Amino acid sequence: MPSQQKPLNLAKELQQKFPAEVLSTLREVGKVASQMGVTAYAVGGFVRDLLLGTPTLDIDIVVEGNGIALAQKLSQIWQVDLTVHERFLTATLHWRLKEPKSASTPAPTHACALSRLDIATARKERYPNPAALPEVEPASIFDDLWRRDFTINAMAICLDPKRFGELVDPTGGFNDLRQGVIRVLHKRSFVDDPTRIFRAVRYEQRFDFEIERKTLQLIRHARNESLLTKLSRDRIKHELWRILQERDPTKPMRRLSELRILPVIAPELCVTKKRLEWMRRTNEWLNWFAEKFPEKPLEREWALLLPLLPTVEAVNSFSQRYQLGESERECGLALLKALKRRTPKRPSNWVRWLNPLPLEAALVLAAKRSSPNDLLWQRYFLEWRWTRPDITGEDLKACGIAGRAISVGLQAALAVKLDEGADAHKQLEVALRRAQPYRTLRR
């Protein structure tokens, strides 16, 4: 982090930390804004992460003046898609490149490292009721920074060509970042928006910071005053899911439990040292699987919560509270049932045990019984789960097998392939033998 001089200018950091095309995008935002008579700033997490030395391409721009008009202008210049939210005074540029209108208007290349750019009009917020969504009106960059959650998120970098790189830090964010402190900007912060409690914990644990003493008191007070219960279930779930998306979600979950916040929002979650360890291993297994099969989507957040839901009642109650789908609930219940069985020896029994489970449940089970270095479990996910017999139902039909006997035969073929490495000929022989007694059974 650079040492603080006045006024601190971060142009050099921007240049060192970002690819040239991102830097030129930022410069162009500042230049076009200035030509329109307004001033643009990069704000929030972008500034925080740059100062922490972990730059992000998730860039939020705030404009002192009409942000939507600037976004419209940039979308024309760069030929990129635009979405506008008039009510919130915000717009987003999307780098799905449009076809150039003619050969003489080439598609832009300078900004392609970004996939999107959020642009907002600087605004003030008014909270009509505690925990309600705020009413917004245009304002100065200072007002905009003062409405934010924590000092470390309330800094801006000016993009105007004459002041490019200048840090705007009205709340002392730079110092707090240096000292590793999460601090709210005023004492009604959690009353206005209790979701900030989750955000405080998330940043504290992500950066190994500390929630500042008074801020911590305000969190405890908010909890005692049951402010969290004023939030909609949707907003709580959104924050909880963001916590579960952290690199190590066990840290914020432990902290939420220590602060006695989890019992308020989800009393069915059982947070013990052992279960958190199971959650940590689930995270490892999910990462391992995502790396091996990037094309297979996983419901990561739900999988991570499953180790904390010890009973059928807990799974049902949590699913209902946060209106999860039937498939999530069933995944939780199937896991609880499968946990009752011991880990089998033969591959065919692994398949019989685990293949009926959704992938998420199988990975949570793997985390309970092993670490991602366990070769047997790896083999299940890499190979056994996807193995199919080399014969088909058609082959069995051709031999006079019908109805349920076909699936019995195919299962037997798969088992002999997995357990003994049998070839197609042997698989057919075993399948026919095994299917015989079922020939008269209906499907």
Could you list the residues that contact ligand ATP (CB under 6 A)?
Answer: 44-45, 58, 60, 148-149, 153, 193, 195-196
Nearer to ligand ATP, 33 or 62 (CB): 62
What Cα–Cα distance (Å) separates residue 107 from each residue in 53, 78, 101, 175?
32, 7, 9, 42
State the Cα–Cα distance between residues 12 and 46, nearest whole angstrom: 15
Say which residues have a Cβ less than 8 Å from residue 143's Cβ, sequence separation at least 6: 122, 123, 124
Nearer to ligand ATP, 214 or 369 (CB): 214
Among candidate residues 185, 70, 180, the one with its CA nearest the CA of residue 119: 70
Quote the least distance from Cβ 161 to ligand ATP, whole Å: 25
Say which residues have a Cβ less than 8 Å from residue 408's Cβ, sequence separation at least 6: 434, 435, 438
Nearer to ligand ATP, 212 or 360 (CB): 212
The CB-nearest residue to ligand ATP is: 45
Nearer to ligand ATP, 196 or 223 (CB): 196
Quote the least distance from Cβ 193 to ligand ATP, whole Å: 5
Quote the least distance from Cβ 217 to ligand ATP, whole Å: 19
State the Cα–Cα distance between residues 181 and 204, nearest whole angstrom: 8
Quote the least distance from Cβ 202 to ligand ATP, whole Å: 7
Nearer to ligand ATP, 186 or 433 (CB): 186
Give yes or no for a contact between 252 and 202, defined as CB atoms under 8 angstroms apart. yes
Quote the least distance from Cβ 430 to ligand ATP, whole Å: 55
State the Cα–Cα distance between residues 349 and 316, nearest whole angstrom: 29
Quote the least distance from Cβ 248 to ligand ATP, whole Å: 14
CA angle 282, 288, 289 (to 5 degrees): 90
Quote the least distance from Cβ 292 to ligand ATP, whole Å: 27
Say which residues have a Cβ less than 8 Å from residue 123's Cβ, sequence separation at least 6: 89, 136, 137, 138, 139, 143, 144, 147
Three-state secondary-structure class, residue 171: coil
Burial (CB count within 10 angstroms: exposed 0-12, middle 13-18, buried 19+), residue 402: middle
Nearer to ligand ATP, 201 or 430 (CB): 201
Quote the least distance from Cβ 125 to ligand ATP, whole Å: 8
Nearer to ligand ATP, 248 or 429 (CB): 248
State the Cα–Cα distance between residues 46 and 71, nearest whole angstrom: 18
Nearer to ligand ATP, 58 or 429 (CB): 58
State the Cα–Cα distance between residues 280 and 285, nearest whole angstrom: 9
